[in-house]
Each structure stands twice: as structure tokens, then as C-alpha cells.
Copies of this chain bind each other. A is one copy, B any other.
Amino acid sequence: MAVTKENLFKDKQKQTARLLKALGHPARVAIVELLAERQSCVCGDITKELPLAQSTISQHLKALKNAGIIKGEVDGPRVCYCLNKETVGELDERICELLDLLQNTTPENKSC
């Protein structure tokens, strides 16, 4: 982020941005899609599905975990990831609120 002024914004704006940023990379979109599609929580299969190195995937997983969007559970030698329903729900709320605002075009509120 570099020389961030993040704290000067509203908590909601910060949290919205945080969640959107976490999904702001095609690899991370692909990961959450994978986690949603697979019945199991999948783990390092992600590495085989995506065209990225194992360490890179691990980094992306960390980013998603830091944002709270996924959680990982150790299962023997491997780690099982799954979506965090709570945070996904929060994302839903935040994004719906935002889209409501962006799309509630009152009669006077015309386009440029």
C-alpha cells in the first residue's frame, strides 16, 4: 500500500476495500471459485489447477486468509481450505450496500 492513509477513511469503506482488494486478482478469484465448486475443501489441488508455482499459490491463500475470506484446517500432511461463510456474507452485505448506492439513480441523478 505504501505510505498509507487508509486510517483517514470510514471503517466501512476500509473493510469494503479490504475485501474487494483480497479478490482483486484473477488467481484469487479462481481460488475462491474452486473452493466453491469442489464439494471438498480442496487443499494443494489448487496448485495443480492453477498455472502458478506452489509458493505463489500459498501466498495468495495467505492473502485470502488474512482478509478472512477463507480458512485453512490442517489435515495430516496437508491443509484443507474452505470459504469462510461469515466473511463471504459480510462481503455480500458490503457489496450490496455499495451497489445499491451506485445504482439507485434518482430521477434528477442523470448521467453526465
Contact = CB atoms under 8 A, between A and B. Distances in A.
A62 interface: no
Interface in A58-89: 71, 73, 80-83, 85, 88-89
Contacts of A14: 26
Interface residues of A, number: 53
Interface in A17-44: 17-18, 20-30, 32-33, 36-37, 39, 41
In the complex, the count of this chain's copies comes to: 2
A38 to B, nearest CB: 8
Contact of A20 (B9, B23, B99): B23
Contacts of A109: 39
A71 B6 contact: no
Contacts of A104: 36
Contacts of A32: 98, 102
Interface of A: 5-6, 8-10, 13-14, 16-18, 20-30, 32-33, 36-37, 39, 41, 51-52, 71, 73, 80-83, 85, 88-89, 91-92, 95, 98-99, 101-106, 108-109, 111-112
